[in-house]
A and B are shown apart, each in its own frame.
Chain A
Amino acid sequence: MIARRHFLQAGLATSALWGTSGFGNWSRLAARQRLGQEDLIGTGGPGNVTLIHITDIHAQTQPIWFREPEINLGVGDALGLVPHVTGAAFRKLYGIADGAPLDYALTYDDFVALGREYGRMGGLDRIATVLKAIRAERPDALLLDGGDTWQGSLPALRTQGTDMVRLFNALGTDAMTSHWEFTLGIDRVNEILETELDPAFLGANIFDATWDEPAFEPYKMFERGGTSIAVIGQAFPYLPIANPNWMFPDLSFGVRQERMAEMVQEVREAGAQIVVVLSHNGFDVDRKMAAQVPGIDVILTGHTHDALPEPVLVGKTHLIASGSHGKFISRVDLDVQDGALKGLTHRLIPIFSDVIAPDPEMTALVEETRAPFKDEMAEVLGTTDSLLYRRGNFNGTWDDLICNALIEEREADIALSPGFRWGASLMPGQEITREDVFNATAMSYPEAYRSEMTGETLKLILEDVADNLFNPDPYYQQGGDMVRVGGMGYRIDIARPQGSRITEMTLLSSGTAIDPASSYVVAGWASVTEGTQGPPIWDVVESHIRKQGTVSIDPNTSVDVVAR
């Protein structure tokens, strides 16, 4: 929660930010129709080509809770536009009734009450059931994975992605692109590509850093339903900046818009009738790219974890946003006539795990990948009294818990936790298992450092991250949320330029202003610097939870947000 908010101008996004739906209409809930599997999966639209999109699953093979963001501010041309619309404004925009299944799946408010009603979402065995249903109708549907697949759970960490590679091979994935995949290290990525991976691994914007030459396959052509389809991969543009570049030192990324334009032209000349970009750019970057690069029919967006029930049309390009963590898959039916796209039907399929039956074969395969770690993962560390969630532009309760752990276990004044958008939620009253902690922390550079920083440095870090999130030009955005801060409050005016967004930095323990020249003990994790020292963050968090027994997170009132 955010302390005070200043809104200078009314508008769609603003009303979203107030966020209080006043919802509590239990009779509506009670009256809701019983959901059926067939209702959720539905049928497709007209046409001869079907795409299935899944993205940003972050190694979540099991049904999970995942609360969508309350605060998701748009800047520049994206001000007030989806995906920067949340809560009641989102429901109004898409005509979703309060308490409806899609209210629970797509918005944040009343998450706990609705979650108890509708249950967890996702699960690879449920996804397998949906894939089978679609393929029964369209046997040659293309399954495209937007990446962030091999990272985010204890089994994926321990097996260095082998579990997810096996499972996505078994789903029959045709192509994928990437981001966190590279945090396994370039040697491991190459090993997977050479010996384990079935789908094409595409990235038109991945270059050799020394010679500035393409390093991976940029696209793959498919023949489906008498139609030639090009799938161009676009990896996360800012991997060497947002993640440790020493793990893949010879690779260079970037948006490389001119390269995308060249690839679109190249595949068109090679006979592609439909051009699909399988992207890990983030939604706002894709929206700009769609406006700047002509000739793309569909962009399957990823990275920023947005789920939208309808395509966003930019010129003639359809942007599809399929959410994260296995909560949704998108089915896109393309009606191609005379070599051109005549119509598109999109269905965002919510994976309600209590409604969609698990596919037994996939259940067995998933269990096989989890078996070696089952006892370790199941160990109960404590209980939470509070809803633990991460998503949102500023602090989430999971990060508050991590920051509390860092401050206490590492004896720090101030804690910093990265603004990752991955990590499952936990419901109040739920036991916290080791698996749950890994779902919020599992990655390959987990060292919880402890160091001294001056007030000036802290301000520099906050300003830098804020500009990665709120730069009005999407090509300068990196797609994470704001760095989470414990032990320190601040005020942020998102519309100001870099260097002047952050003010009123305050040390919470004393209530005094942060002095630029003074040093503070800062603990954090996920540093991109090679050789960072410290215990892994999951050990720090586990120790803290064990000492607490029952975790309770007070509302965080330390960030004062100014938005328009």
Chain B
Amino acid sequence: MSYSRRHTLAMIAGSGITVMLGARMALAKSAEEMIAAFTGGAQITGEGLTLTAPEIAENGNTVPVEVDAPGAEAIMILATGNPNPDVGVFHFGPLAGAQMASTRIRLAGTQEVVAIARMSDGSFARAAQEVKVTIGGCGG
């Protein structure tokens, strides 16, 4: 089954999810620091997080990304190559019907997009994908 953004927004509205989009900080923390803060330094060993993003962005200003981690309490998305890597953290309440969300992010250039999920058993899962931002124009 595929979810559109419209469906996802409806789902979010109906299932008690709160979304905290990354606030701009005076000093941008590095992606590693943010991951460490999110996990409390715990090892990331789990599986079960799917990150869907295009291999090559059609428009670097609005790149669709989707995260899906059945059983997750929260999923953090990071654009590791942006001046401020924090994209946001999706929190899923106990009434959430599915632990998935999609949004669009701006990418400053070719970089790795990383997602970290905190599962209800306290474990963490990681998924990453390289998203290329290209000037294009010569496909045959």
Contacts and interface: CB of A to CB of B under 8 A. Distances in A.
Contacts of B54: 254-255
Nearest to B137: A528
A252 B58 CA distance: 7
Of the listed residues B54, B55, B138, the one surrounded by the most CB atoms of chain A closer than 10 A to its CB is: B138
B102 to A, nearest CB: 8
Interface string B49-68: 00010111011000010000
A418 interface: yes
B138 A465 contact: yes
A222 interface: no
Which interface class (under 10, 10 to 19, 20 to 34, 35 or more) fits A?
Answer: 35 or more
A398 interface: no
B4 A480 contact: no
Nearest to B5: A212
Given A464-B134, A468-B134, A211 B139 contact: no
A240 interface: yes
A476 B52 CA distance: 15
A481 B6 contact: no
A117 interface: no
Interface string A287-313: 000000000000000010100000000
Interface in B35-58: 52, 54-56, 58
Contact of B4 (A211, A419, A483): A211
A422 interface: yes
Interface string A506-538: 000000000000000000001110000000000
Nearest to A420: B140
Interface string A479-496: 111010000000000000
A480 B58 contact: no
A526 B140 contact: no
Contacts of B110: 498
Interface in A341-391: none
A90 interface: no
Interface in B62-100: 64
A421 B5 CA distance: 37
Nearest to A529: B137
B5 A241 contact: no
A253 B56 CA distance: 10
Nearest to A463: B135
Binding site of B, secondary structure by majority: helix, strand, loop or mixed? Answer: loop
Of the listed residues B56, B58, B135, B140, the one surrounded by the most CB atoms of chain A closer than 10 A to its CB is: B140
Of the listed residues A241, A243, A475, A527, the one surrounded by the most CB atoms of chain B closer than 10 A to its CB is: A241
B4 A241 contact: no
Contact of B139 (A242, A254, A498): A242
B135 A422 contact: no
Given A212-B4, A254-B55, A258-B52, A419 B140 contact: yes
Contacts of A305: 140
A479 B132 contact: no
A213 B6 CA distance: 9
A480 B135 CA distance: 14
B101 to A, nearest CB: 13
A307 to B, nearest CB: 16
A394 interface: no
A461 interface: yes
B140 A241 contact: no
A397 interface: no
A272 B29 CA distance: 52
Contacts of A411: none
Nearest to B104: A212
Interface of A: 209, 211-213, 236, 238-243, 245, 252-255, 258-259, 262, 303, 305, 418-422, 460-461, 464-465, 467-468, 471, 473, 475-476, 478-481, 483, 498, 526-528
28 contacts: A211-B4, A212-B5, A213-B6, A238-B136, A238-B139, A242-B140, A243-B139, A252-B58, A254-B54, A254-B55, A262-B2, A419-B138, A419-B140, A420-B140, A421-B140, A460-B135, A461-B135, A464-B134, A465-B138, A468-B136, A475-B55, A478-B56, A478-B136, A478-B138, A480-B140, A526-B137, A526-B138, A527-B137
Interface of B: 1-2, 4-6, 52, 54-56, 58-59, 64, 102, 110, 130, 132, 134-140
